[in-house]
Structure 1
Amino acid sequence: MFDVLVYLYENYWRPDACPDNEQLTRKLSAVGFETDEIHEALSWLQGLAVSAESGSGSQPGQHSMRVYLPSELELLGEESVGFISFLDSAGVLPAPMREMVIDRATAIGTGPLSLDDLKIIVLMVFWSLGEEPDALILDELFVAPEDRLIH
């Protein structure tokens, strides 16, 4: 699924630049992605779109402390929680966006989530809102080239 998300991030400026689901599915299949992987990614993106439409975008001035449920800690893992805290304390991941990241990360359903996968989720949240993270933070979000291709 994450490879499909990376492909979409690299090839489409915003979600509204993507073709409709049927055409996108055909295109992703033609590129070589498996049907199950495509459907899983598109379903995950639908959940992201719902989250973005529900008013969970970045709203300046909203600061809050996040207490994680045991189930969230198990699914996210210590390293991912630490990275989310880092982005939060750096002021680049406002509370509503943080909640979108946590929602989409826990929607994966298996844990602990790797830090590389979490970084892709963070990028996709920014992407879904049509925002680009601060340049210094953007460097932190890029995954090692040997693991994924994000440029």
Structure 2
Amino acid sequence: MFEVLVYLYENYWRPDACPEHDQLTRKLSAVGFESDEIEEALSWLDGLAASAESCEWAQSSDSLRVYTAAEIDRLGEGSIGFISFLESAGVLPPAMREVVIDRATAVGESPLALEDLKVIVLMVFWSLGEEPDALILDELFVDSEDRLIH
């Protein structure tokens, strides 16, 4: 599923630039994605749209998020740490954080791999028509092992 999401991010500027589901399914199949992978990704994207639509965007910027035991199990410490990092950097406001958590908990694996969480964060920005700044994009795309320390 995550490969399909990355493909969509790289090939469509915004979600409204994507064709309708039927045509998009055909295009993704033609590129070589499996039908179950495509179906899962499109269903996940529908959930993303619904989550972003229903989110309360007027939350206070100084809110404190307490994770439930189920969220901790599902997300894992690495993902929760990364979400906290993005919040403290001022990149992920509380409303976007909640969308990220909602979409991360919608994924079936536990704990969620950090690389998968990064794709989810990227897709939340994409769904809102926002692009993170260059340093955050670097954080989302480059593995820490591949970084050069100057």
TM-score above 0.5 = yes
Gaps of 5+ in 2: 144-150
Q: How far 1:36 moved relative to its partner?
A: 0.4
Looking at structure 1, the residues matched to 3 and 139 of structure 2 have their Cα atoms a distance apart, in angstroms, of: 19
Q: 1:127 to 1:61 in 2, by over 3 A?
A: same
The letter for the 2-side match of 1:53 is E
2:146: which partner in 1? none
1:69: which partner in 2? 68
Aligned residues: 143
Q: How far 1:14 moved relative to its partner?
A: 0.2
Return the index of the structure with the highest Cα Rg: 2
Looking at structure 1, the residues matched to 115 and 55 of structure 2 have their Cα atoms a distance apart, in angstroms, of: 26
2:51: which partner in 1? 51
Q: How far 1:54 moved relative to its partner?
A: 1.8
The letter for the 2-side match of 1:43 is S
1:105: which partner in 2? 104
Q: How far 1:63 moved relative to its partner?
A: 2.5
Q: How far 1:137 moved relative to its partner?
A: 1.3
The answer as to 2:22 corresponding to 1:22 is yes
The letter for the 1-side match of 2:32 is G
Q: CA contact under 8 A between 2:59 and 2:95: conserved in structure 1?
A: no
Looking at structure 2, the residues matched to 61 and 103 of structure 1 have their Cα atoms a distance apart, in angstroms, of: 19
Q: How far 1:138 moved relative to its partner?
A: 1.4
The letter for the 2-side match of 1:65 is L
CA RMSD of aligned residues (A): 1.4
Looking at structure 2, the residues matched to 99 and 126 of structure 1 have their Cα atoms a distance apart, in angstroms, of: 13
Looking at structure 2, the residues matched to 37 and 137 of structure 1 have their Cα atoms a distance apart, in angstroms, of: 27
1:7: which partner in 2? 7
Q: 1:38 to 1:106 in 2, by over 3 A?
A: same
The letter for the 1-side match of 2:24 is L
Q: What TM-score comes out, normalization by structure 2 length?
A: 0.91
Q: CA contact under 8 A between 1:51 and 1:100: conserved in structure 2?
A: yes
Looking at structure 2, the residues matched to 47 and 63 of structure 1 have their Cα atoms a distance apart, in angstroms, of: 27
The letter for the 1-side match of 2:39 is H
The answer as to 2:85 corresponding to 1:86 is yes
Q: CA contact under 8 A between 1:80 and 1:118: conserved in structure 2?
A: yes
The answer as to 2:33 corresponding to 1:33 is yes
Q: CA contact under 8 A between 2:2 and 2:41: conserved in structure 1?
A: yes
4+ long deviations beyond 3 Å:
none
Q: CA contact under 8 A between 1:56 and 1:97: conserved in structure 2?
A: no
The letter for the 2-side match of 1:76 is L
